[in-house]
Structure 1
Amino acid sequence: MNGWIDALAELHRRGEPCVLVTVIEERGSTPRSAGAKMLVSGGRAWDSIGGGHLEYRAMQIARDMLERGAQAPQLERFSLGASLGQCCGGATVLLFEPLGRPQARIALFGAGHVGRALAPLLAALPCQLRWVDARESEFPAEIPPGVARVVNDEPLEEVERMPPGSHFIVMTHDHALDLQLTEAILRRGDFAWCGLIGSQTKRARFEHRLRERGIAAGPLARLRCPIGLPQVKGKLPMEIAIAVAGEIIASYNGDPCSELRATTRAEEHPV
């Protein structure tokens, strides 16, 4: 890459958010003039606003913004003296501009009928999808671009591998495994959304067992079961997948509709 412009184009292509840091004001002696830029992603930085502790502090601020999912730009003023470990003696003002929307991290457990319908829908969204099943033969021959196919005989391990703030979808072929996965996710407590495929009857049965295993009322109340926006009717795998994708979109966009529960689905969905 030849600089921050090329890096920005590549990050945009990959759907990876970043922060553009620009010197917009300089007073006295400063390491770089107004207009100097640095692009910061979660793991790298391109170009420079002057190096030293100023640049290190700017990268810290930028990565904190990325971690928080900040979308509003912000201004920061720095005196380039001893407190910052600089000897220029001047002052500078930096503009931090978040670019690109943070991608939702989603773990989809189950490669059955609904999972195979849902994965391509999620792959077309601004998200990073890990698709998990112990049965390699259940995955389609072609996996949608950008989807990480994970064949693991111990799918519970994948719960721990997801970062905080992730979305979890549980729709395996085995109710006992569904219960184990749901328990592990609820025990984490740091998930953005957790959905379990099934009926109100399945939810009641799972809630009873999860309470017996020590899961508190707070995490249980956040469990989505049945899943899928109730306005989207139908029992075909694609109809269910569309309803589930709609609820996840509402969740990561902060839409109040994400609080809706699909209470109108009376029967367990095929998986």
Structure 2
Amino acid sequence: MEIPADFLSSHERCILIEVMATWGSTPREAGAFMFVSERALSGTIGGGRMEHAAIALARSMLGDGREKETLDVTLGPDSGQCCGGRVSLSLSLATEQVMEDLRLRSRLEADAYPDVFIFGAGHVGRALALALKPLPFNVMVVETREDEAVQLAPGIDYRIEAIAERAVSDVRAGGAVVIVTHDHALDFLIGTEALKRADLSYVGMIGSKTKRGLFLHHLRDHGEDEQRIDRLILPIGGKAVHDKRPPVIAALVAAELLTHYIGSG
């Protein structure tokens, strides 16, 4: 979860509420956090009466100067939440040391996220990068055209590569390659390099059944192992929704990646 820099800069005193441990069914996982100031909130630890009780405790701390509290909540009928689990919360005044510790934990967590390299910064690539930005992925957009890359939303990492397929080697093991460039031939070059890597967890390409057939011919013509195409997700985003608007494709692919990486967790 991203630390809300704008919120913190505009609220001098606030309380950090963190989910420290969970047992059974709970609305959020350990590590979730939120901030509470006297009049505003940022983030969520799961909502409901549990969150309201934590907010009330946080604001009482701001009122009387306490810097540290804990709160254990059983999510049953007495608390008005039927999850059935139990949550342990930590509440701390957001001092510089507390924030430095949180930043360190957040960096370590983010470093463990899988890489998603999006090849292509056209309409679909930009929409997909924006959809993935708040999700647990390390997103990098690779583009050959500077004028397209500069249209990406602020805060999205990108790189300009004259030979885009070379960037496939920079994806960390277990990562994903999503190919949405403006050029079929370039798609095939990137796809060929990506499928050579058995350690990539996901390789997807925008297109159709016809494009898949053309890519198979490309592999044959270049002496590549045709069986590798079995690992290729094409079309990306599944077949249940037939809508080619970039934001719709982006939402479907984001859901596909989440299901692929954490759906069975």
How does the TM-score come out when normalised to structure 2? 0.58
Q: Name 1:222's counterpart in structure 2.
A: 231
Are 1:181 and 2:222 an aligned pair?
no
Distance 1:204 1:9, change over 3 A: same
Are 1:17 and 2:109 an aligned pair?
yes
Q: Name 1:248's counterpart in structure 2.
A: 257
Distance 1:163 1:17 in 2: 15
SS at match of 2:153: coil
Residue identity (%): 35
Distance 2:179 2:151 in 1: 22
SS at match of 1:169: strand
Distance 1:252 1:211 in 2: 31
Contact 2:122 2:182 in 1 (8 A): yes
Alignment of 1:4-43 (within 5 A): 8-14=101-107, 16-17=108-109
Q: Name 1:210's counterpart in structure 2.
A: 219
* 1:152-189 deviation per Cα after TM superposition (whole angstroms, max 9, x unaligned): 11112211111111100011111111110000111122
Contact 2:237 2:252 in 1 (8 A): yes
Shift of 1:252: 1.1
Distance 1:211 1:227, change over 3 A: same
Contact 1:186 1:215 in 2 (8 A): no
* 1:70-100 deviation per Cα after TM superposition (whole angstroms, max 9, x unaligned): xxxxxxxxxxxxxxxxxxxxxxxxxxxxxxx
Alignment counterpart, residue 128 of structure 1, candidates 107, 116, 138? 138
Contact 1:159 1:185 in 2 (8 A): yes
Shift of 1:190: 1.3
Contact 2:117 2:178 in 1 (8 A): yes
Q: Name 2:173's counterpart in structure 1.
A: 164
Alignment of 1:52-201 (within 5 A): 102-141=112-151, 143-145=153-155, 147-201=156-210
Distance 2:224 2:200 in 1: 15
**Divergent runs of 4+, >4 A:** 4-8
Q: Which amino acid aligns with 2:250?
A: A
Shift of 1:8: 4.2
Q: Which amino acid aligns with 1:190?
A: D
Contact 2:126 2:153 in 1 (8 A): no
Q: For structure 2, which runs of at least 5 residues remain unmatched after alignment?
A: 1-94
Q: Name 2:17's counterpart in structure 1.
A: none
Distance 1:214 1:191 in 2: 21
How does the TM-score come out when normalised to structure 1? 0.57
Distance 1:214 1:5, change over 3 A: farther
- RMSD over aligned Cα atoms: 2.6
